[in-house]
Structure 1
Amino acid sequence: MEKDLKEYITPPILLILFLLVLSLVIVMPVLNMILLGAILSFCIRPINRRLQTKIKYSSISISLSIILVVIPLILLLIYMAMVIGGFVSENIISNPALSQESLNATFSELSSAIPPQYLSSISSSLNTAFNEIGNFIVNGVVSLVSEIPSLSLEIFILVCSVFYFTRDGDKLFNFIKDFVPDNTINFFDNTVKSVKNVLKSIFYGHFLTSLIIGIVAAIGYSLLGYPYGIFLGILTGIFQLIPVFGPWPIYWALAIIDFIHGDYMGAVLVLLFGFGLSLSDMYIRPALSSHYAEIHPLILLIGFLTGPLVYGLTGFILCPLLLGITYAVLDSYRNELKNKKETS
């Protein structure tokens, strides 16, 4: 055993390990953007292949692909930040008394249905919760503004990572494959196929479905007369990504608000529209992802909910994909062991 270790732990290997660890320390602050760029490049490559049939220069086709996929995502985040910032500025920071007045008016409408002995405690709890939510939003907006320089750097690294992974991804794959021993080359190829299958399942079955549901929701909420219809559609698409949730939290919240304000017809209409969104998911998702691997909902649920805690906002996209890749690698290794047992 000691002799085998000496054969593998040679000065070149030690030097390579040292440099790899040092390189990891250097890129650690932006590792999430590099990984996200690598995964997004997988999504962009099919678009780039189609553009390359009409555009001679690969750099131009890749740039157009990034404009079609990555830039809209960035603009979406900027739009959401602007809407939230504008709402906070208009309703909480500029006129806190008006916000308190609106809360009291809403509570007065609900007070007729609440037993008198609970009114004071519920009113106090609502006021405290409202103030805490307002402070949290204000602090979040201030923190976001202070982090604009670092966010700009991360976005720049993300765009560059997507570009170079899309252009040189095949070279990187062949470079890594050269280090794979001959006796494990089949496992490596099968693992790569499994990872591609899982990523396609997540992209088509979840992200694309959420995009479609979000667009339909934005159009529907705008036609129903709700302010911030596009913003509500984006929130619906985000909730659609998360297993168990779906679009129902948004349309139920709108229906409850309409009911409180006496707009019973509006409440009924938004519920009917929301039920239509939920039912459409049952048809859209299987139609888009039935040809690819099925991912257990718990894996994606954990990824979507805990991702922002690990990597911030990018973790919402990155962590479900990383967990899906981990599942694909483990499943490929399980099949490899199973085949070895059957042949032995």
Structure 2
Amino acid sequence: MGLNIKNYLNPPVLLVIFLVIISLMFVFPVLNMVILGAILAYGIRPIANKIQSKLKYSSISILLAMVVVLIPLILLLFYIVFELSIFVSWILANNPNTDVNSVMSQISSYLPSYVDVNSLNSYLDSVISNVGSYLLNYSVKFVGKFANVTLDLFILVCSVFYFVRDGENCLEFIRSFVPDDSKEFFDKTVSSVEDVLKSIFYGHFLTSVIIGIFGCIGYSLLGYPFGIFLGVLTGILQLIPVFGPWPIYWALFFIDVASGNYIRAVIVLFFGFFLSTVDMYIRPALSSHYADIHPLILLIGFLAGPLVYGIVGFVVGPLILGITYEVLDCYRKEYLLGDD
């Protein structure tokens, strides 16, 4: 056994291990952007290939594909900011003298007699103050970290570009280090990773788009003034585990009850239950078509990912846990069960 270790841990191998460790120390601060770039590259590559079939230059095709994907996201962001500004202006215009006390006095008529309205009012004042302080502090920190954010975005764009262009070469480079007797396991692992990516893209993001479209149609037909915007928010919330569309339709339900529109309140509540039920059928159907991963694994990934990688963790978290599960399953079938 000592002879085998000595043969493997020769000077070249030790030098490679040392350099890899040092390199990881440099890469680790931006590793989340590199991983996210690889994920986005997987989705952008088919678009780039279609564009390249009509153009000569691969670099131009990749840039055009990135623009095609980024433009809708940028437009969506501007749309949300624009609609929020209109929404706030609409509230102020229709309720110029509204404050927390007047709202609480209206709500108190619907509350049970044993509820202390003054305590609830004080609690809401404290919550609003804390939320305002948090948003202000976060904005200050964001401005202070603007240089880091710019660097992260630059690395993300570069990662997407080079993974789209040289992803196959990178994969072959890694595969060249795999022993011949393990190449089949490596190929199965790569295939499993692709299945996990498809499961996340189609099972979660496509489900969010479908629920968002249903929300836009339903809220608009019910006569809400910002039906499309509410549908967009519903689709975004659908991406966040535990939340889903319920904060939107429950808020609309209570608003309608407070305004005396009881019929629409009941309808929007049933419509919200319909959205939640549709999600229970669409998401498993799309996800299980590509990768059979237990929902708890993806749920933990969605919840724990942001704690480790920030907002990027919503994608990276479930992806890493899903890939880990698939790799362990491949290893179990290949080496423990002997399943070909």
Using the size of structure 2 for normalisation, the TM-score is: 0.86
Counting only pairs closer than 5 Å after superposition, residues 1-344 of structure 1 correspond to structure 2 as: 1-73=1-73, 76=76, 101-112=98-109, 113-115=111-113, 118-218=116-216, 220-221=218-219, 224=222, 226=224, 229=227, 231-285=229-283, 288-340=286-338
**Shift in Å at residue 274 of structure 1?**
2.5
Counterpart residue identity of residue 102, structure 2: A
Counterpart residue identity of residue 65, structure 1: A
**Shift in Å at residue 215 of structure 1?**
3.7
Contact preservation (8 Å) 2:196, 2:322: yes
1:130-149 per-residue CA deviation (whole Å, 9 max, x = no partner) reads 21122222222333333333
- Count of residues paired in the alignment: 336
190-199 or 76-85, larger mean C-alpha shift: 76-85
1:257-288 per-residue CA deviation (whole Å, 9 max, x = no partner) reads 23223333442343343234334335543554
Contact preservation (8 Å) 2:237, 2:245: yes
* Pairwise CA RMSD: 3.0
Contact preservation (8 Å) 1:205, 1:288: yes
**Shift in Å at residue 33 of structure 1?**
0.4
Identify unmatched segments of 5+ residues in structure 2. Answer: none
Separation in 1 of the partners of 2:308 and 2:187? Answer: 30
**Secondary structure of 1:253's match?**
helix
1:38-86 per-residue CA deviation (whole Å, 9 max, x = no partner) reads 1111112222222222233222221122122244335545665777799
Using the size of structure 1 for normalisation, the TM-score is: 0.85
Separation in 2 of the partners of 1:22 and 1:273? Answer: 55
Counterpart residue identity of residue 60, structure 2: I
Identity of aligned residues (%): 58
270-279 or 221-230, larger mean C-alpha shift: 221-230
Separation in 1 of the partners of 2:337 and 2:277? Answer: 41
Counterpart residue identity of residue 190, structure 2: V
**Shift in Å at residue 202 of structure 1?**
1.3
**Shift in Å at residue 329 of structure 1?**
1.1
Separation in 2 of the partners of 1:271 and 1:145? Answer: 40
Contact preservation (8 Å) 1:88, 1:138: no
**Secondary structure of 2:198's match?**
helix
Counterpart residue identity of residue 39, structure 1: I
Give runs of ≥4 in structure 1 deviating > 3 Å. Answer: 70-92, 98-101, 218-235, 242-245, 282-290
Identify unmatched segments of 5+ residues in structure 1. Answer: 93-97
**Shift in Å at residue 251 of structure 1?**
1.2
In structure 2, do the counterparts of structure 1 residues 183 and 247 end up closer, same or farther at CA, with 3 Å as the change threshold?
same
